[in-house]
Homo-oligomer: A and B are copies of this chain.
Amino acid sequence: MENSIEEMIQDFRSTLKKKGFNITKERELILREVLQRKGHYDAETLYIAMKTSGVKVARSTVYRTLDVLYDIGVVDKSSFGQNQFYYERMIDRAHHDHLVCQVCDKIFEFVNEDIEKLQVQVCKENGFKMKSHSLQIFGVCTQCQEKDME
């Protein structure tokens, strides 16, 4: 259940091979960064973080690799209606949806099996073949509601 980073990198290598991608040190470096990072971030943030910590990699490689990681299911990609993509590792996690606070921009997660089931049903009713889905609820989080009352 609990895999070490090194084991995950081994998996990654074999998945790349299986899908016809080359194994490169840049892809591994980016994977390492992704694996140790929790929560949501955009490609630019990841790129800057890597630059700052002295890793040599090009911006376009980060963008391209994040999409490879998305392709092979290592990260999730979502957009929260902000015309920008956010990534997040999918390791050891079930699919989840998001509560987006419009005051502090924090993103909270939730899992709701019943909603998932209803989505499957909706697809069945419409003859639609589901590949993925994305549910965001926008509003105000508890903390911001409290701040507002002060």
- Residue of A78, A79, A85, A123 with highest tally of chain B CB at under 10 A: A79
Q: Which of A3-11, A32-40, A46-54, A112-120 contacts B (4 or more CB under 8 A)?
A: A112-120
Chain A, interface residues (CB within 8 Å), range: 35 or more
For residue A85, which residues in chain B have a CB less than 8 angstroms away from its CB? 81, 83
For residue A134, which residues in chain B have a CB less than 8 angstroms away from its CB? 81, 134-136, 138
| Given known A119-B115, A131-B139, A138-B133, contact A108–B79 (CB-CB < 8 A) | no
**Interface membership of A22, Cβ < 8 A:** no
Q: Which residues of A contact B (CB under 8 A)?
A: 77-79, 81-85, 99, 101-102, 108, 110, 112, 114-115, 118-119, 122-123, 125-142, 145
With A119-B135, A119-B137, A127-B141 given, can you name 9 additional A-B contacts, CB distance below 8 Å?
A79-B79, A79-B81, A108-B126, A112-B122, A115-B122, A126-B142, A128-B139, A128-B140, A129-B140
For residue A130, which residues in chain B have a CB less than 8 angstroms away from its CB? 137-139
For residue A125, which residues in chain B have a CB less than 8 angstroms away from its CB? 110
Contact between chains at A142 and B128 (CB < 8 Å): yes
